[in-house]
Amino acid sequence: MTYSVIPPYILRNIIDHCSGAPQESARRTLTHVQQLMAEHNHKAASSATAQPGTVLRAIYDAENTQNLPGTLIRDEGQPGNGDVAAEEAWNYLGITYDFYWQIFKRNSLDNKGLKLDGTVHYGKEYQNAFWNGQQMVFGDGDGEIFNRFTVALDVVAHELTHGVTENEAGLVYFQQSGALNESMSDVFGSLVKQFHLQQTADQADWLIGEGLLAAGIKGRGLRSMSAPGTAYDDPKLGKDPQPADMDHYIDTRDDNGGVHLNSGIPNRAFYLAAKALGGFAWELAGHAWYDTLCDKTLPQDADFSTFARFTIEHGGKRFNRSVAEAIQSAWQQVGVT
């Protein structure tokens, strides 16, 4: 399964509302994303594995082709070549690894020390980044609508977290379980950024993809976890369509049954739980969500209410009743019972 950070509906809006180079870039990117969705990728089979607590990375350069992985430009233990995108990818793969290790004692995405590979400069003005089951891939953006896709730590961590979800819960990428799959990536993507900046739940911006939208685009990021539906409102991108509660749930066949749309609902539930519990969001709410993700009794086609029940149970089991009650209240506020 391939997971890309820019959903098809954003690319379609760009095609509909732009002309010239951005329109052409979006058209090429959308065609490619649709091809990727149709392919079945095999899981990574790298022979090299990281020692627990020590990241193992490699960065490749596709040199504006779509050949993967591309030319190796940096391996673990080697110096960088000064390429900004390569440096960002390198650093953010490392920070994501460190977060999972230090907070959850997880040794890489598969918990077996999977080597983290990243390819930069993928395609020509490619308006996306994706995890293809084997590695991270970053486009450069077109500079007019999107900046380079290595610019946002939470986007890198979001995509890598798809690898964690694949290895643990295997949440089916369709309708509510697919929206939960996307939400897990937003939750842990945001937590990695908060961990890196040492921000509490109150200090965090709760945006996904801050810095990704080019100058002149009216928006703060791709998604807002605190206020879904408010991340952007721009003539080229359209208006952020995410619902914030079950009253506005979107029933659609597009976007794998609305996986990038309805993820706003569990995203906001996590935000509300983290805010209510206070302190660093990864300490209480983050652990309840991670324990749920790793619970082998969680159904692969879990809906929101099933997932909510698991987070409440794990909050109570790992911590105490007041944590469970705060989590329950957060889900109730977004209309999940």
Contact 189, 272 (CB under 8 A): no
Give the bridge partners for 136, in sequence order.
118, 131
Q: How does DSSP classify residue 150?
A: T
The single residue of 32, 121, 158, 260 carrying the catalytic annotation is: 260
β-pairing, 129-131 vs 57-61, is: unpaired
The single residue of 159, 166, 168, 210 carrying the catalytic annotation is: 159
298: Cα within 13 Å, side-chain hemisphere: 30
300: Cα within 13 Å, side-chain hemisphere: 7
Residue keyed to tokens 């946002």:
152
Q: State the Cα angle at 203 between 201 and 209, rounded to 5°.
A: 85
229 vs 71, 209, 249, 279, 294, CA distance in Å?
39, 14, 12, 26, 29
Token pair, residue 95, equals: 């920070």
The type of residue at 68 is L
94: Cα within 13 Å, side-chain hemisphere: 13
63 vs 1, 2, 40, 140, 205, CA distance in Å?
24, 21, 25, 11, 34
Q: Could you confirm whether 287 is annotated as catalytic? A: no
Contact 153, 40 (CB under 8 A): no
Token pair, residue 302, equals: 């879990």
Q: Could you confirm whether 168 is annotated as catalytic? A: no
- Rounded CA separation 122/251 (Å): 33
The type of residue at 212 is L
Catalytic positions, written as ranges: 159, 260
